[in-house]
Structures are given as structure tokens and as C-alpha cells.
Amino acid sequence: MPAYATIARPSPVKEARIEARVSEEMKETWEYAAALNGLSLTDFLKTAMQSASVEAIRNNEVLVLSERASVSFAELLLNPPEPNATAIAAAKRYKKWAAR
């Protein structure tokens, strides 16, 4: 076995800390939910917050198109319209700028 395979990697250092004041009822609900999942409150909250964060990011960064919009988008990519005067002028300005 190679020497590198037997070396244990150190676990990531956890330096960041988050604190929040919540109602007693909210804390009890979270503790109950954590217990139902067999997790500590800390692990439950980390898991829940990570899931909520990923979902929030996905909802704001991923564009979901309807079937009609998808077809229109693909059609424009495959058959783009001729550039108008504004687009031609912008391309000329860009080429001039990029040549600097």
C-alpha cells in the first residue's frame, strides 16, 4: 500500500460560529425534530440550514424555462436574427476597445 494511503487527513477546522436568539417554543420544536431524526440539535440545524441555503441559491441562480420558452430560446440560437444598427455599432465599439 502506498505511504500516502495510510496518512489520515486532518478534519477541517471549524472556526466560524453562529448564534441566534429564538423563542423557547421554536427551540423546543427544533429539538424535537432533531430527536426524531436521531441528530443533535447542532447537527440538525447545520443540515437544515445547508439544505435551505442550497435551495435558496438554486431558486435564485437557476433559470427554469417553460416548454414554450425553451423552444423559442433554442429557435433563436439556431436561427438568430440579423443584427440591427445598434448591435452593429456596439460590435464596432467593442472591436475598437478590445484592440487597445
Judge contact between 30 and 44, C-beta under 8 A.
Answer: yes
Q: Report pLDDT for 1.
A: 46
Q: Are the CB atoms for 50 and 57 separated by under 8 Å?
A: no
CA angle 54, 58, 62 (to 5 degrees): 160
Q: CB–CB of 44/34 below 8 Å?
A: yes
Question: What average pLDDT does the structure give for the chain?
Answer: 89
Dump pLDDT digits (tens) for 73-100.
Answer: 999 999 999 999 999 999 999 999 999 8
Domain ranges across the chain: 20-98
